[in-house]
C-alpha cells in the first residue's frame, strides 16, 4: 500500500518529464544529428591493420555475452569485454594466418578429448567412465536435427575451441624460440649474489625549495619533443556539472513520521454497506502482524527470531530490552523510518556448538571412503570423548584431526542455530545442556562428540517501516530548480562558476574523460553524458541538462583534448618535477664540486652513512630508498675508491666502496639459465600480444555505436 501511494505521488511529475522528454526528442531530431547507435549495415566497429571488424559481428558477440553474465553487468562493460577479446583474436589471427597455422576438422575431436568440460560430462562417457566419441558425435547430430539454436551455439563454441588451439600453437612456437644461455644464467647469478658495501653522503633534493628553481615553458616543450612516446594522449574531454539530486526534504520526513505515528493508534472506520463503524487495531494493539504490515508497511512480518547482534547496532540495546508488547521508535535506519514492536522472547533460544563426527559404513551421508563398522565408530567416539574432556585439550584441534563432518576444517564449529534446525537428538543435547558441556550423541549420521560453546537470547520483532522518499512537491521543486539553473546557465549572462556560487550549488569538475568511459565520479554510470561530450557538434562552453537516476545534472563541456602529443599545459604536471629535479642536481653539484665527503656532509647539515650487501638486482639503499644509478656506479668502482657526485633518485650522492664480495663460482649455471628461460616463457602470452598490439594500426569506432 505504501509503495502504491508513492507511485501515485509521482504520477504528475512523471507525466511532465515524459512530455518534456518527447518534446526534446522531436526537437533534437529536427535540428541536430545527435545519434550514436545508428551505424549503417555493413559499417565497421574497428579496423586493425587494414582488416575490418563488422559491427554486426561485434553486436552478436555482445548479445551472446549478455546472456552469460549476471544482471549487474552494464552494457559498456559488455562492450569493452567483447572489444578486448575481439581485438586480441584479430591481432593474433593475422600472425597465425601469415604462418599458415591451421586446425583441421579431424583435429577438433582431439581438442575436445582434452577439454574437461566434455570429457568429464557423464552424457559423453561410456560404461567405464571414459570419453565416448560416438556418443558425442550423436549428441551433436541430434542438436543439428532437432535444436537449431543450440546447434548454432555449439558451432560458436567449436570456433572458440579451434581459435584457442591455434593461439596456443602460435604462442608455443614463439615460446620455443625463447631460451637462456649458460652465460646469461651466470650473469643472473652474479647480479643477485655479487655484493658491495659503501659509505655515502647524500644531499636531498628537498634541501632546495621548489620556489627557487625556475623552469620555462620552452624547456618543458623541448623535453616533450625529446620524449614524444611518453607524452602521447588519447582524445579526452573535461566537463563540470551541478547535480540536482532527488532527496527527501525535512518536511517529507516529517510527513512520513506523522503517517507512521498515526498508524500506531486504533482508528474507527465507517462501513457504508452496514451503516456501522468498526475499530481497526493500530500497530500498538494489533496481534495480526502479517496482515497489518502487509497493508501498511514497506517490509513484511519477519517471523525469524534474532539475536542482539543481528539488530541495528545503534538501537540494539533499546530494542532488545523492550518488554513483550512494547514498541520502540520512530527511528531512522537504512533509509527508512521504523517502529519496532517486541512480539516474543526466548531465553537461550540460539546455541553455538562444535562437534566431532565419527561416521561408519552405512550411516546417512557417510563418505564412501569410511569403512569402519558401527561398533568401531562407537569405540573411537568414546576414546575421543575422554580426550576432549581432559584438561588443556583444544577441542577445535581434535575436531580438525578426527571429524568426518564437513565442519572439520573449521574445528567442528557449527555456528549459532535455533530450535529445530539440527536433527532431534543433537538439538536436544545442545539446548538441554549448559555452556561448556561436552557429551556423546548418536544420530543417523554417526556418533557426535558435542561441545556447547555458547547460548544467546533471541527475540521476535514486528517492524513497521516506510522508506524515506521525496514527495511529489519536492520532486517538482527540484525539476523547477534544475530547469531555471539550466536556462540561466545557457543564457550566457554569467559563467557557470559564478552562477553556481551565487545559487549555492556545488560545481564539480571531471577531467580527462575518454571516449569509451561510462562512470563519472559523483554521477555513476552516465554514458549519455560522455557521448554528448564527444559529439562533434558539442563545443567547449556548451551546456546541457541530463535526466539521470535520482535527479538531474546540468553539464558544461570545458575542454577538448586531441589525440597526439600532450600540450605543454597538460604535460607540465609530469614534466615540471623532472626538470626541477635535474636543475636541483646541477645546483647541488656546482655547490659541492671538489669537496670531500666529510666537507659535503658538514656544509649540508648531513651525515655520512653506511649500506652493506647491496646487489644490482635489489638496488635499495637503507635510509635513502631505491637508487639504481648509485648502486650501479658502486659496482663499477674498485674497493677503496671514492666517486664523484652522482645524481640519484632522491638526491645527489658521493660514495666510497668499502668492500666488494664476489659470489663463489659454480660448476655450472644451468639452474639459473632454466629459471630465466621459465620466467621468459611465462611472460610470452602477455608480452607477445602487448608488443603486437602496440605495433598495430587500430582504428576504434566503438564510440560511434555505443
User: DSSP of 210-247, one letter per residue?
Assistant: GGG----HHHHHHHHHHTGGGGEE--EEEEEEEEEE--
pLDDT of residue 493: 85
Rg (CA), the chain: 37
What per-residue confidence (pLDDT) applies to 103?
A: 80
- Using an 8 Å Cβ cutoff, are 555 and 529 in contact? yes
Which residue's C-alpha cell is 561510462?
A: 518
Look at residue 68 in the predicted model and tell me its pLDDT: 83
pLDDT for 14: 36
Rounded to whole angstroms, the Cα distance separating 659 from 199 reads: 10
Closest CA to 567 of 512, 521, 518: 512
pLDDT given for residue 6 in this prediction:
42
Is residue 510 within a helix (H) or strand (E), and if so which, with residue range? strand 507-514
Q: What is the pLDDT of residues 132-162, one digit of tens each?
A: 888 888 888 888 888 888 888 888 888 888 8
d(CA 398, CA 420): 27
The confidence score (pLDDT) of residue 118 equals 84
Which residue stretches of the chain have pLDDT < 70?
1-42, 105-106
Cα distances (angstroms) measured from residue 488 to each of 474, 498, 521, 529, 545: 21, 11, 25, 20, 12
CA distance 400 to 356: 8
DSSP category for residue 364: T
CB count within 10 Å of CB 432 equals: 9
Model-level pTM? 0.67
Query: Could you tell me how far CA 434 lies from the centroid of its own chain?
Result: 45
Residue 401 CB partners (closer than 8 Å, separation 6+): none
Contact criterion met (CB below 8 Å) for 239 and 529: yes
What pLDDT, on the 0 to 100 scale, is given for residue 42? 53
**Cα–Cα distance for residue pair 243/482, rounded to 1 Å:** 9
pLDDT at 226: 93
Grid coordinates representing 372 are: 569402519
Residues 6+ apart with CB under 8 A from 667: none
Amino acid at each position: 500500500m505504501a509503495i502504491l501511494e508513492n507511485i501515485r505521488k509521482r504520477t504528475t511529475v512523471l507525466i511532465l518529464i515524459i512530455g518534456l522528454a518527447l518534446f526534446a526528442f522531436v526537437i533534437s531530431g529536427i535540428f541536430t544529428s545527435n545519434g550514436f547507435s545508428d551505424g549503417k549495415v555493413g559499417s565497421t566497429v574497428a579496423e586493425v591493420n587494414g582488416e575490418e571488424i563488422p559491427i554486426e559481428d561485434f553486436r552478436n558477440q555482445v548479445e551472446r555475452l549478455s546472456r552469460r553474465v549476471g544482471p549487474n553487468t552494464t552494457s559498456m562493460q559488455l562492450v569493452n569485454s567483447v572489444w578486448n577479446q575481439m581485438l586480441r583474436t584479430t591481432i593474433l589471427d593475422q600472425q597465425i594466418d601469415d604462418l599458415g597455422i591451421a586446425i583441421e576438422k579431424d583435429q577438433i575431436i582431439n581438442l575436445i578429448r582434452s577439454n574437461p568440460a566434455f570429457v568429464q560430462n557423464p552424457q559423453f562417457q561410456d560404461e567405464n567412465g571414459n570419453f565416448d566419441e560416438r556418443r558425442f558425435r550423436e549428441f551433436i547430430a541430434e542438436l543439428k536435427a532437432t535444436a537449431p539454436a543450440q546447434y548454432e551455439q555449439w558451432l560458436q563454441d567449436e570456433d572458440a575451441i579451434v581459435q584457442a588451439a591455434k593461439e596456443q600453437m602460435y604462442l608455443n612456437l614463439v615460446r620455443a624460440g625463447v631460451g637462456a644461455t649458460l652465460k646469461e644464467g651466470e650473469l643472473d647469478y652474479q647480479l643477485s649474489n655479487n655484493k658491495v658495501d659503501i659509505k655515502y653522503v647524500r644531499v636531498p633534493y628537498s634541501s632546495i625549495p621548489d620556489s627557487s628553481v625556475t623552469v620555462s615553458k620552452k624547456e618543458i616543450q623541448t623535453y616533450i619533443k625529446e620524449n614524444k612516446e611518453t607524452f602521447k594522449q588519447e582524445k579526452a574531454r573535461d566537463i563540470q556539472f551541478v547535480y540536482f539530486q532527488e532527496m527527501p526534504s525535512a518536511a517529507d520526513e516529517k510527513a512520513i513520521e506523522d503517517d507512521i505515528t498515526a498508524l500506531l493508534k486504533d482508528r474507527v472506520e465507517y462501513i457504508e454497506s452496514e451503516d456501522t463503524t468498526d475499530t481497526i487495531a493500530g500497530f500498538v494493539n494489533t496481534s495480526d502482524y502479517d496482515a497489518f504490515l502487509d497493508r501498511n508497511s514497506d517490509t513484511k512480518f519477519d517471523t525469524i527470531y534474532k539475536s542482539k547482534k543481528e539488530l541495528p547496532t545503534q538501537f540494539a540495546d533499546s530494542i532488545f530490552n523492550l518488554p513483550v508488547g512494547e514498541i520502540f521508535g520512530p527511528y531512522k535506519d537504512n533509509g527508512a523510518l521504523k517502529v519496532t514492536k517486541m512480539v516474543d522472547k526466548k531465553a537461550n533460544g540460539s546455541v553455538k556448538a562444535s562437534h566431532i563426527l565419527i561416521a561408519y559404513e552405512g550411516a546417512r551421508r557417510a563418505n564412501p571412503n569410511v569403512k569402519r563398522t558401527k561398533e568401531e565408530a562407537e569405540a573411537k567416539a568414546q576414546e575421543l570423548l575422554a580426550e576432549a574432556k581432559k584438561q588443556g585439550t583444544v577441542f577445535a584441534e581434535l575436531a580438525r584431526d578426527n571429524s568426518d563432518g564437513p565442519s572439520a576444517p573449521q574445528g567442528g564449529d557449527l555456528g549459532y542455530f535455533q530450535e529445530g534446525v539440527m536433527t532431534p537428538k543433537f538439538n536436544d543435547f545442545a539446548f538441554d545442556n549448559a555452556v561448556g558441556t561436552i557429551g556423546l550423541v548418536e544420530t543417523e549420521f554417526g556418533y557426535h562428540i558435542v561441545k556447547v560453546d555458547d547460548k544467546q537470547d533471541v527475540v521476535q520483532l514486528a517492524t513497521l517501516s516506510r522508506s524515506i522518499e521525496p514527495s511529489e512537491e519536492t520532486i517538482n521543486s527540484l525539476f523547477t530548480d534544475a530547469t531555471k539553473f539550466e536556462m540561466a546557465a545557457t543564457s550566457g549572462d554569467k559563467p557557470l562558476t559564478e552562477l553556481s556560487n551565487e545559487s549555492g550549488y556545488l560545481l564539480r569538475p571531471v577531467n580527462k574523460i575518454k571516449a569509451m568511459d561510462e562512470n563519472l565520479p559523483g554521477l555513476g554510470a552516465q554514458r549519455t553524458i560522455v557521448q554528448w561530450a564527444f559529439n562533434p557538434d558539442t563545443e567547449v562552453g556548451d551546456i546541457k541538462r541530463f535526466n539521470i537516476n535520482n535527479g538531474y545534472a546540468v553539464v558544461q563541456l570545458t575542454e577538448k583534448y586531441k589525440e597526439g602529443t600532450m600540450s605543454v599545459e597538460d604535460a607540465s604536471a609530469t614534466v615540471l618535477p623532472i626538470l626541477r629535479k635535474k636543475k636541483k642536481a646541477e645546483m647541488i653539484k656546482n655547490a659541492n664540486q671538489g669537496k670531500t665527503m666529510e666537507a659535503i656532509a658538514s656544509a649540508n647539515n648531513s651525515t655520512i652513512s653506511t649500506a652493506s650487501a647491496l646487489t644490482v638486482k635489489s638496488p635499495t639503499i637503507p635510509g635513502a630508498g631505491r637508487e639504481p644509478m648509485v648502486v650501479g656506479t658502486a659496482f663499477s668502482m674498485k674497493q677503496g675508491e671514492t666517486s664523484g657526485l652522482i645524481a640519484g633518485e632522491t638526491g645527489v650522492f658521493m660514495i666510497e666502496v668499502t668492500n666488494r664480495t664476489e659470489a663463489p663460482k659454480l660448476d655450472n649455471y644451468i639452474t639459473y639459465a632454466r629459471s630465466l628461460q621459465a620466467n621468459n616463457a611465462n611472460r610470452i602470452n602477455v608480452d607477445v600480444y602487448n608488443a603486437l598490439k602496440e605495433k598495430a594500426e587500430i582504428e576504434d569506432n566503438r564510440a560511434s555505436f555505443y
